[in-house]
Chains A and B, each alone.
Chain A
Amino acid sequence: MSIENNYKAICYCLILLCFSSSSFAQRKPIAHFSVPTIRMPADTTIAHLKVFRDQVVDSISEKRPAMDTLFEERTSDGVPIRYYRHIFSNVCHDGECRPLNLTLYWNITGRYLGFLLSPREYLSKNDHEPFLEYEYRRLHHILTDSLSALSSISYTELTNEMSKEMDTDLDGITGATAKAVLPHIVSGAAYTTYQLWHYVYGKTQTEVKNLTIKSLTPSLVIQILKSTDISDQQWALNHIKDNMVWDEELINMVMPYISDGNYNFAEQALNAINAEALSNPSMQRGLLRRFITSNHSIKRLILNKFKEGPSLNPDVVSQLTTHLSTFGASITVEILDLFEEMAVVNDTTTKEVARLLINPNRFVSLGAYRYLSAIPTEDKSIKKQLRQFKRKFSKEIKQIEI
């Protein structure tokens, strides 16, 4: 980043900070923002005309889906940094409607970023009182929560009708607002909170993600992966494309996700690794290290991933062979399947597997037989053991050879 860009970024952050604490007068804009992935100033704005089917919101206001504009802000290098949409709507309750006029912002990964109310615009509650500063902060906090219970609460549940079903009492503060809903809304503004949350997590979010995907480059994926926001990281993992160069930096960034801590992260990180990446010995060795320390579920994912590579690295074969009988029957047999599928043939492995022919667990010995029968071997001792095994377990072999 150049000095000039650094300066611009600092100014931009200062403006944001200023906005975050500025709801003291209606003549000033009211803004609350979270940290975006790309902290650079906007250079250009692109308008995308879209049909927004804000299902929940439209069904409340009985509006048909309509054309609206989604704005995309980009850096001077053409990198998308955020999106926004002007919301002009009404919040109606008990036949009374109040206007809703503000701008909602999304990060490039679809994550909610913030909102902006123009000078003289404000949000109001059921009693027409304007929001106070702490209520704007609370609104921002609620909108940041993508997992809010508002996702599964229907519009009618905001009122006392649904409170019976939810087995809750009426709140007594906002009159009709169900008590169970209170923790999820700005007090006195259930409908405003609800509508805005559904705007944020409605169709616009999908549009935002789709637009970013269109301009996604390997360097942008890396930038998103470096985000401190966990949902951004997850988004990046899911969008690592085949055109990525799997250098040490990327391997080192992705590998820590393959652990017991979060199954989905491990699955997504492994999905991101393609066959070409697996031809890199560092990648295979890294996966092996993860295999040794992971739980059963992740171990299986890693073994499956190895099968996608062009061949199995000798170090990996050596390590798996050395520890073959220590993994428990199920994983041992899965390793034997991997060896068979990857056509692993070397004396050490063959001899180690041959030892398993006398394993008391027939599931394991049959797995060893299957592997040894599938590979070419000239070892007379092993051939003899195979013949003996075949005589002893002819019925069992017949069954697994279906």
Chain B
Amino acid sequence: MKNAPIPHPSTEDLSLRHERVLDAMRPEAVAKQHARGQLTARERIALLLDEGEELWESGALAVPADDSLTAPADGLVVGIGHVQGRRSMIVSCDYTSLGGSLGITSHAKLTRAMYLAERHRLPVFALVEGGGARAQEYRSLPSLRPAAAFGTMARLSGVVPLVGLALGRAFAGHAILLGECDTVIATETAALGIAGPPLVKASTGQDLTPEQIGAAWMHAESGGVECLVKDDVAAIAAAREYARYFTRRFVAGEGSEATAHDALREIAARPGPVDVHRVSALVADPGSMLELRAAWSRQTTTALARIGGHTVGITAVGPTGDADSAVLSRDDCDKIARFASLCDAFAIPRLDVIGSVRAAADTDGPDTALFRHASRLIRTDDARAAIVCLVGRLDGVAQLLLGRFGDFLSGPTHVMWPGASLRGLGASPESGAFRVAEQYATDDVIDPGSTRELAVRAIDVARESPRGDPHHVAVW
């Protein structure tokens, strides 16, 4: 290729060059990917795009900088197409081409993709599978054609949704690429890691498979993967579902208020702690909840959902199992703060459903710096926070951290169920909801059955309030 004479240009040659990169011309590569139960880079894109949509592609003719290597489009498909009605940037790694590794050319393609996303404000979908930088090409530091993709993503954070899909083995640069995203959706067979087997072997001496190093479920349990799903098809469906909350802010709801009404009353009447997860699901439009980081820090639920058809972010905190009270930990604080940051960045109104909670005693142990993490929950700049609904007993500083009693007068809509109460911080021995309402530290005590109705109204108000200052999505 390097020294070949420039052939006389023909349309046949042009078509051939463009077709060479397509799946139809690469049956072996396609078969390999399918044999693993996976889709090809291009099949994934076709599924992600809206019906009938075709990708505008950049760099189909690009090849590896090391011309002794073969990789159609240098192993990375980059292009623009509509997803959920919004024009989006898609990058899709081709694992069948040199293991999806990022070479000098494909790094440049990735950089181009992010610059285009920045230029045209396009949501980004990164369909990721591969083992990082191509060792064969990066034999010394890249100085002349530096990759600016990740730095651009840092600026894009909070400007457009950044959605990462881990669809196989995603190591080194590929794991970092996912880390730059707001949300990571992974398949059950995926594995993620900073360093793959050869590097783990070199640095720790352990012989491990990629799955032993960082199976997707391990990441889901430690909060590093937001959604864990079965396979490629499910992951792409989840990505479309996720994107829909951002691009279609209103979808007519099919909620049956009567059902929610009775069920909510029944929950409130039951003895023992309120199941806040169940309450959230009832307040949201039926079947509209997409939970993020569900496998991590389970006493806290963070979910995108719809209420009255509008996109909302629901945070629910309360005890699980037989516990009387949730004990707020460092991970809970990080999970809540990070989710609030995501919602605020995209002006998504929030509903908080707060059950019985107390803060962990901050003695020795991993929660020794709890006060630092807890202070992330003190917010005064969240104009779109719509409604705080207290359904359990808040102990001590949990009144400030989750109950919003530190800024009730200037804070969001604030209601309590009749069974809610406060204890500690001068509420001695305990202040019931009616006492708090008499003292005017809450807007109202409500019939639990009317929670959904009230949320619909509060969200309508919050939706129209001015946006706060733009800000990035917190990384953790």
Real complex partners, A and B?
no
